[in-house]
Structure 1
Amino acid sequence: MSSSASERASRLRAEIGEHDHRYYVLDAPLISDAEYDRLFRELQAIEAEHPELVCSDSPTQRVGAAPLTGFATVAHRTPMLSLNNAFSDDEVAAFDRRVREGLAAEGEVSYVAEPKFDGLAVSLSYEQGVLLRGATRGDGSTGEDVTANLRTLRSIPLHLQGSGWPALLEVRGEVLMWRSDFERMNEQQRQKGEKEFVNPRNAAAGSLRQLDPRITATRPLRFVAYGVGAVAAGVLPATHWALLERLAAWGFAVAAERRRVSGLAALLACQREIGSRRATLPYDIDGVVYKVDELAAQERLGFVSRAPRFALAHKFAAAEALTEVLDIVLQVGRTGALTPVARLAPVFVGGVTVTNATLHNEDEVRRKDVRVGDTVVVRRAGDVIPEIVRVLPEKRPPTATAFVMAASCPVCGSQVVRQQDEAVARCSGGLYCPAQRRQALLHFASRRAMDIEGLGERLVEQLVEHDVVRTPADLYRLGLLALLNLERMADKSAGNLLAAIERSKQTTLARFIYALGIRNVGEATARDLARHFGSLDRLLAADETQLLQVPDVGPIVAQSIRQFLGEPHNREVIEQLRAAGVAWSEGEAVAPAASAPAVAGRSFVLTGTLPSLTRDAARQMLEAAGGKVSAAVSKKTDFVVAGADAGSKLQRAQELGVPIIDEARMLALLGGVEADR
């Protein structure tokens, strides 16, 4: 290989990358399409003649990967959290007040306001500046690995531009489709006589999740960055505004309509100004996102549930339409919740055709007085979830019928129960009901329950879909042949699973109780029940009065236990499990965990990768010894246990002067050896 070929290939990659950035990110091309094609073909020819020159971040490697058989799952290094929504000025004012109170701010807080893109959230992982992996948001903790598809987007740099990027960087943003590109794509669909796409968001989501990356490459997708996730071996700017500027310098498109403002009045004015130009923007948005500008302030505010306290999505008013309620049916969720759903005469609203709208619960149906035959106003809440806004009583026909909550589950026939102070009615057949089958099996097999190694989500999906397993008891009747008929199941893996199922038969009463999935009964309550009754038969025979004698079991928990164990279908499955050989030592004493004086009552935060323990294992050890493990560092934190690649939590601990210890010192604490503070 000549050095001139290597040098020319390197120059071409850099030149083509710069032209991709100018065309797809800056919308400011410098050369014609013909000249771009000439450069691209020249690079292809050099790499064909010298295959050793091909590298993962070459522009030629964006297209042409073989079709996938399915998407692997990816665990996000830091969760991809959702945002809380606001639909009124009062809700925004309450957000601003909470921020000022949380920061003890005397004056106005500085925010960054950005358009809320109507696309698909993804995370891009870069190591040493090279794109390593891309994943969808998924459930926030894990997403789908769509790296091959994301590599086809020319607005995503395969190698970061400029300098100063961290050794590990997760870039968060949105994949979307410009309206003009969407219209051109639909015109092509019409010309080919093929089905048109409903709206840009659905088109973008469907295009990104193609199993064949070559199809994704033909779709006009773009990526816009709006933040970062995990960062290691690098320093970020002090503000979100500067972070967006840095992302732009590294080669990413960021929202041109972003604004930096101070105070509530400026936030509301910004939302109205961007909203007034909503129809003229090149892409769809459904609101404006407000973020506290100072990153250290974001860290101090922290998170609540699955949303940050430092950010808010201020949604635009949703489009509305009139339609008729054709029926009200009950849907049974994976946890047994019964949700009334209105079947609607099809109506086009907010860019999609709506045929169903959730009515949430029985009280909501009564409050809105929705009846079959009514004419109703429908909108897409947050431009996403269809909902009935109100009924038009003047259009109600004499034949309109009121909704009546069923007394038995429409799927399995088990009793429907509604606990005191709860709005949701539930099916009580948790171990038996087909609608709850998947969730019940996953919980039953989980590590802290029956601990059946290898029985994960994908396999449970197949077992349920093929009707191989209907209740947890059926797991113990599985044979090798039934497993070998499933996808991706060979002799060895099937044998390993059957061995794991057999091992799980020997368990403890506490684990068994927890595995049943009784509502409001977690691991601690299961241990308390096992310790108090010592026998499953005694627990099965206990009434609510006897259950209330168990420590920390109140009326609601007692009612949950009694309703679950009183359901004949659940009793039948429990007896089938015992008949299959699931056993424990009757009368066993479940000893409370021995506390460590150096740990008990103290607060810990875990960060980074520990040498020999997973963070989950470390958390269990600390909690078993009487310690408390928190997600965020504060002045009340006693110790931060830091491992390799520790991130912002370590930095926060250093700022607050919180003692930082390693795994060895944590184990010493658990052994009773005090650590220096």
Structure 2
Amino acid sequence: MQAKEAQARISELTKVLHQHNYNYYQLDRPTISDYDFDMLLKELQELEETFPQYADELSPTKRVGGQITKKFETVVHKYPMLSLGNSYNREDLTDFDERVQKLAGRAVEYVCELKYDGVAIGITYVNGKLQRAVTRGDGSKGDDITANVKTIRSIPLQLQGEDYPKEFEIRGEIFYPLSVFQRINEEREEAGEATLANPRNAASGTLKMQDSSVVAQRTLDSYLYYVLGDNLPMETHFESLNNARKWGFKAPPKEKNMIAKCNSIDEIFEFIDYWENNRHQLDFEIDGIVIKVNDYHLQEELGYTAKSPRWAIAYKYKTAQAKTKLEEITYQVGRTGAITPVANLTPVLLAGTTVKRASLHNADQIEKLDVRVGDMVLVEKGGEIIPKIVGVDIDQRPADSQPHQYITACPECGTELRRLEGGAQHYCPNEWACPPQIKGKMAHFISRKAMDIDGLGEETIQQLYESGLIKNISDIYDLTVEQLLPLERMAEKSANNLVDGVEASKKIPFERVLFAIGIRFVGETVAKKLAKGLKNIENIQNATIEELVAIDEIGDKIAESVHHFFAEEKNRELIKKLKEKGLQFEIVETESTQASNKLEGQTFVVSGVFEKFSRDDLKQAIEDHGGKNVGSISAKTNYLIAGDKMGPAKKEKAEKLGVTIISEDDFIEMVG
């Protein structure tokens, strides 16, 4: 074959095979046999080997793999990959619906989907071509597994049509079809190899294999269900998935009732009931249903917590249970002093893993279940992750059984336990001398989302504490290489790396330092709000509860906790030491965007959709002119900036409290 003919045939085969993949995986309407498809693919492979200069970078032959990846590159997600809040009862869903409708001030349309029990993936497309595929990782960054994802035939390499955005990301789950998983286990059993424990773990392990040709042989599958990007043309989630199907993605098919629009909580329950009865007919595993607000503008209005969107919730189906013997109840002390009773069990296989321990939560839970040492107990995995005891087989209870007596003193330091009025947990109040609390605070301080000190982990913290080198977090900044070298498994390079990591952490920004010091109820998001609202540690230390509550999204419970923390002289002394070590305790304005002080002393609530600003840009503009954003309307709010599609409940509350309501144009006029 001449070069020109080969080029034309390669181009034709590439196009034809992409279309056949689309027909098979997305339309579920194959137009040729598997044998004929394989013959066309083989022809294309042979031509590409002879004329490699004409091979398309996303040729269907890439599906067979062959690329070796020694190390998977870590990639920062452009949009954080958050997890969903989970619910196990219908009351939680009703509460979720009521919260959403209250904010929206109108009836809300939802989309219900299956909750796939697979491996989360985010795939970026540029100009219709698959550019990169990244795992969830820790939510802020994940592993680049593009070479392996390209082998999955249900994920398009080149999109159909032309109306897709220039650049966007689509997210979903990669999983083993149960029929494939069963076949692989049968083959492994015949070969005398250990069988795979469960489909989800097997899919995760397969996606991290170094040889993509092995991944191709495993025939993983996927469903993609969430499109996101800047300035997407779609108004709703449902519409975006309809478009995704046209572009060639295997999105949940509405024809098979795998996705549905619901206009009431009763319709949501109907969808949940249908799949609870029919989920075992699927060739893949699901563990629940996901409910999302359909309207993108309302999603933006509802916003996010640090961990999950406020516009979506997952309902989890009841998990498999196992029965085993409770051998002993022990107690753990957390970094905040909270006591958690732990059931030590006769090992039992549950959902693919061996369970030896389970949480008993608190004294009330032990009393409610009347759980006793020696009982045969029912264990299940809450959220498929943390085992918990949910019941007791009274008929198998030993005759000499005695009710369990909850401890009254800390198992670590002997201090008498306290229980706050109305609280469920007991606490050890000896926070400055109770070893697990001290070590727990230090482990939190050096964790990745806090100070992220290179070369320093929880095991090293334990070692340093037990050797007497550190007694609190400020001591970390006094460590020297000479002190570290005598420690077990501490070579000179490791010691130098640790000391360098400690020094480098002094550049960590104020909001992360504030999170790291471990004030109860101050997570990542709250730390950012406090730092942004009050600028430096002195202002936070000296703030009244009223001043703290005035900060966007800071409620009474958080304000009281912050106030209590800084009222403690030892905490103030600790902050003083950390400041002397050189840590960042004020916001560093790298590039001041301050345009004027025209809005100084004024508080604003932003609600709705705007023509000239995005909501985030509008909030930034308020701060650029000296104003302050707050999340909810109160009598202290000066202005409500009302956009299109704003919930009537906010308008009604603003009118009732006498808050001035202005438009986007009014705001522009205010700031000139």
Pair in the same fold by TM > 0.5: yes
The CA distance in 1 between the partners of 2:99 and 2:515, in whole Å, is: 38
The CA distance in 2 between the partners of 1:512 and 1:432, in whole Å, is: 19
Deviation at 1:475, TM superposition (A): 4.6
Partner of 1:246: 243
Deviation at 1:183, TM superposition (A): 0.4
Deviation at 1:116, TM superposition (A): 1.9
Matched, 1:439 2:438: no
Q: SS at 2:120's partner residue?
A: strand
Partner of 2:159: 160
Matched, 1:464 2:464: no
The CA distance in 2 between the partners of 1:335 and 1:624, in whole Å, is: 40
Partner of 1:218: 217
Deviation at 1:526, TM superposition (A): 3.7
**Residue identity (%):** 30
Partner of 2:69: 67
Partner of 1:80: 82
Q: Where does 1:404-423 land on structure 2 (aligned, <5 Å)?
A: 404-405=406-407, 407-408=409-410, 410=412, 422-423=423-424
Q: Assess, with a 3 A threshold, how the Cα gap between structure 1 residues 394 and 528 changes in structure 2: closer, same or farther.
A: farther
The CA distance in 2 between the partners of 1:69 and 1:465, in whole Å, is: 28
Deviation at 1:283, TM superposition (A): 1.4
Cα RMSD after superposing both structures: 5.1
Matched length:
593
Matched, 1:527 2:532: no
Deviation at 1:422, TM superposition (A): 4.5
Q: Where does 1:183-198 land on structure 2 (aligned, <5 Å)?
A: 183-198=182-197
Q: SS at 2:269's partner residue?
A: helix
The CA distance in 1 between the partners of 2:50 and 2:638, in whole Å, is: 62
Partner of 1:41: 42
Q: SS at 1:357's partner residue?
A: strand
Tell whether the 8 Å contact from 1:520 to 1:560 is kept in structure 2 after alignment: no
Partner of 1:119: 118
Partner of 1:371: 372
One-letter code of the match for 2:233? V
Q: Which ranges of structure 2 fall in alignment gaps of 5 or more residues? A: 544-556, 587-591, 608-615, 644-661
1:641-677 Cα offsets, whole Å, 9 max, x none, are xxxxxxxxxxxxxxx953699xxx9xxxxxxx9623x
The CA distance in 2 between the partners of 1:314 and 1:194, in whole Å, is: 37
Partner of 1:22: 23
Q: SS at 1:372's partner residue?
A: coil
Q: Where does 1:347-496 land on structure 2 (aligned, <5 Å)?
A: 347-350=348-351, 352-397=353-398, 398-400=400-402, 402=404, 404-405=406-407, 407-408=409-410, 410=412, 422-425=423-426, 428=431, 433-442=438-447, 446=451, 456=453, 459-461=455-457, 464=460, 471=470, 472=473, 473-479=475-481
Q: Which ranges of structure 1 fall in alignment gaps of 5 or more residues? A: 447-454, 533-551, 607-614, 641-655, 666-672
The CA distance in 2 between the partners of 1:35 and 1:5, in whole Å, is: 20
The CA distance in 2 between the partners of 1:624 and 1:363, in whole Å, is: 52
Tell whether the 8 Å contact from 2:227 to 2:241 is kept in structure 1 after alignment: no
Tell whether the 8 Å contact from 2:443 to 2:458 is kept in structure 1 after alignment: no
1:378-410 Cα offsets, whole Å, 9 max, x none, are 233345543222234454332556254474465
The CA distance in 2 between the partners of 1:186 and 1:564, in whole Å, is: 61
Q: SS at 1:232's partner residue?
A: coil
The CA distance in 2 between the partners of 1:491 and 1:433, in whole Å, is: 22
Partner of 1:202: 201
Q: Assess, with a 3 A threshold, how the Cα gap between structure 1 residues 216 and 196 changes in structure 2: closer, same or farther.
A: same
The CA distance in 1 between the partners of 2:265 and 2:291, in whole Å, is: 10
Partner of 1:318: 319
Q: SS at 1:377's partner residue?
A: strand
Q: Return the match for 2:664 from 638, 653, 658.
A: 658
Partner of 1:646: none
Partner of 1:143: 142
Partner of 1:268: 269
Deviation at 1:47, TM superposition (A): 3.0
Tell whether the 8 Å contact from 2:334 to 2:437 is kept in structure 1 after alignment: no
Partner of 2:658: none
Moved more, 145-154 or 329-338: 329-338
1:222-262 Cα offsets, whole Å, 9 max, x none, are 11011212x235412x4433322211111111223323344
Q: Assess, with a 3 A threshold, how the Cα gap between structure 1 residues 520 and 261 changes in structure 2: closer, same or farther.
A: closer
Tell whether the 8 Å contact from 1:376 to 1:388 is kept in structure 2 after alignment: yes
Tell whether the 8 Å contact from 1:176 to 1:223 is kept in structure 2 after alignment: yes
Deviation at 1:479, TM superposition (A): 3.6
Partner of 2:651: none
Tell whether the 8 Å contact from 1:66 to 1:212 is kept in structure 2 after alignment: yes
Q: Assess, with a 3 A threshold, how the Cα gap between structure 1 residues 433 and 151 changes in structure 2: closer, same or farther.
A: farther
The CA distance in 1 between the partners of 2:558 and 2:100, in whole Å, is: 37
Q: Assess, with a 3 A threshold, how the Cα gap between structure 1 residues 94 and 557 changes in structure 2: closer, same or farther.
A: closer
Moved more, 286-295 or 172-181: 286-295
Q: SS at 2:460's partner residue?
A: helix
One-letter code of the match for 1:69? K
1:554-598 Cα offsets, whole Å, 9 max, x none, are 8755654577939xxx99x999x78x973799xx9xxxx999442
One-letter code of the match for 1:195? A
Deviation at 1:85, TM superposition (A): 2.2
1:330-356 Cα offsets, whole Å, 9 max, x none, are 345576654322222234445654333
Matched, 1:290 2:299: no
